[in-house]
Amino acid sequence: MKEMKRIIIIISFLGLLLPVSAQQPDTLISSANDAYANEFYDNAIDRYQQVLEMGYESPELYFNLGNAYFKSEDYPSAILYYEKAKKLDPRDDDIRHNLEVANARIIDKIEPVPELFLKTWWRSFVNMFSSNTWSTIAVIGFILVFITLAFYMLSRMIRIRKVAFFSGLGFLAITIVAFTVAWHTYSKANKDHEAIVFTPTITVKSSPSPNSVDLFVIHEGAKVELLDQVGNWYEIRIASGSVGWLPLESVKKI
C-alpha cells in the first residue's frame, strides 16, 4: 500500500513537471523578446541560444536572434542567423531585407556570377511555397488522381471517362511536380552546403595545406559554398566563382 502511494506521488510530481518543461521554451522566448525590447541584446542572445540548444528552431527564432546580433554589431553572426532563417522561409521579405542590410555592413562585396534564366525561374518557382505547402499540394494531387481513376473505372459514360482520364493525367503531373519541389526544398533546407566566414581576415589557399599558394583574401561575414572536406580543411567557392581552401575553424555552417 505504501509502495503504491509512493508511485502515485512520483507520477503526480512528474505530471506537474511536464507543463513546466513544455512552457520553458515559450518562457525563454518571451523573456528574450523583453530583453531585446529593453535593449539588453546580450541577454536576448543568451536566451534565444538556450532555446536553440533545446532543439527548437523556426524562421522567427533565427530572425530574432539575427536582429539581436545585428544590434550588438556582430554582423557575421547576424548574417549567419538571417541565412538560417532564410533557409527555412526563403519567401519572407523582412528576412531578406535585414540580410541585405547586414551584408552591407561587412567588408567583402562579392559580385555573383550571372546565372541562367532557367535557374532563376526555377528558384522563383520553388520559393512560391514552403516545403510543407508543396507536400500538401502533392498529397491532394495524389488523392485526386485516385478519385479520377475511380470515375474512369466505374463510369459507363464515354464523356465522363474521357474527362476523368485527362483530369487524372493533369493531377498526376501536378503531384509529380509538387513532390519533386517539396523533396528539393526539404533536402536543401537540411543540407549543410553553405557557411559564413568568422575569421576577421583570412587567405584562401590553393590546396588543403597552410604551406600552399595564397589565392585571395576574404573577410568575416562572407558567405561561401562548401564543396568538399579534406581533414581540417573545406574546399569553398565564393559567389564570384573563385575556388580555394579554408580551415574548418574559420567558418560556421548555415
| Strand partners of residue 237 | 225, 243
Architecture category of domain 2-103 in CATH: Alpha Horseshoe (1.25)
What CA–CA distance (Å, rounded) separates 223 from 99?
12
Q: Sheet containing 201-205: which strands, arranged edge to edge?
A: 214-219, 201-205, 243-247, 233-237, 223-230, 194-197, 251-253
The model's confidence at residue 170, banded by pLDDT at 50, 70 and 90, is: very high
Among residues 33, 28, 73, 74, the alpha carbon closest in space to that of 52 is found at 28
The model's confidence at residue 132, banded by pLDDT at 50, 70 and 90, is: confident
> In terms of C-beta density within 10 A (0-12 exposed, 13-18 middle, 19 or more buried), how is residue 157 classed?
exposed
The answer to whether 141 touches 178, Cβ cutoff 8 Å, is yes
Enter the C-alpha cell of residue 198: 568568422
The model's confidence at residue 4, banded by pLDDT at 50, 70 and 90, is: very low
What CA–CA distance (Å, rounded) separates 81 from 65?
7
- Per-residue model confidence as pLDDT tens digits over 62-108: 999 999 999 999 999 999 999 999 998 888 999 999 999 999 999 99
Q: Which of 45-59, 179-193, 231-245 has the lowest mean pLDDT?
A: 179-193
Helix (H, G, I), strand (E, B) or coil at 209: coil
- Per-residue model confidence as pLDDT tens digits over 181-204: 988 877 776 677 899 999 999 999
Which helix (H) or strand (E) element contains residue 61? helix 59-71
What CA–CA distance (Å, rounded) separates 41 from 62?
14
Enter the C-alpha cell of residue 235: 574546399
Task: Report the half-sphere exposure of 173 (CA within 13 A, side-chain side).
Answer: 5
CATH, domain 194-253, list 2.130.10.10, 3.90.550.10, 2.30.30.40, 3.30.70.260: 2.30.30.40
Res 119: pLDDT: 81
Enter the C-alpha cell of residue 162: 474521357
Whether 14 shows a pLDDT value over 50: the answer reads no
Which helix (H) or strand (E) element contains residue 75? helix 75-88
Residue of higher predicted confidence among 184 and 144: 144
